[in-house]
């Protein structure tokens, strides 16, 4: 299983979009400062996630969320 996830920073209340095959481990890495792009925005909470059968599908959804149309899709569904 692969996941697309959205984290929300409890420091600046901004979102981070990512994908992984181990969501618990990845959240721990973000919160322990092991991810350079998020280490100054800790702590994080898992805000949303989706499950996929392939890494390709998970990455495709992550990239969609990072686009303007993906952000709009998330807003329309009250996810963010």
Give start and end residues of each alpha helix (H) in 1-80. 23-31, 55-65, 68-76
The CATH number that applies at residue 52 is: 3.40.1440.10
Question: What is residue 77's predicted lDDT score, i.e. its pLDDT?
Answer: 94
Convert the pLDDT of each residue in 65-77 to its tens digit. 999 999 999 999 9
In the numeric block, which tokens belong to residue 35? 């991810």
> pTM to 2 decimals?
0.90
Question: What is residue 48's predicted lDDT score, i.e. its pLDDT?
Answer: 96
Question: What is residue 50's predicted lDDT score, i.e. its pLDDT?
Answer: 96
Question: What is residue 18's predicted lDDT score, i.e. its pLDDT?
Answer: 96
- List CB contacts of 80: < 8 A, sequence separation 6 or more: 6, 15, 47, 48, 71, 74
Q: Which domain holds residue 31?
A: 2-76
Q: Give the whole-angstrom CA distance, residue 2 versus residue 13.
A: 25
- Count: domains in the chain: 1
| Residues 38-61, mean pLDDT to the nearest whole number | 95
Question: What is residue 71's predicted lDDT score, i.e. its pLDDT?
Answer: 92
In the numeric block, which tokens belong to residue 52? 């996929």
């Amino acid at each position: 299983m692969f996941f697309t996830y959205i984290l929300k920073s409890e420091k600046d209340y901004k979102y981070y979009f990512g994908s992984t095959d181990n969501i618990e481990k990845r959240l721990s890495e973000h919160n322990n400062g092991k991810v350079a792009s998020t280490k100054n925005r800790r702590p994080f909470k898992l805000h949303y996630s989706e499950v996929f059968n392939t890494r390709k599908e998970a990455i495709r959804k992550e990239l969609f969320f990072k686009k303007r149309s993906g952000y709009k899709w998330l807003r329309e569904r009250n996810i963010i």
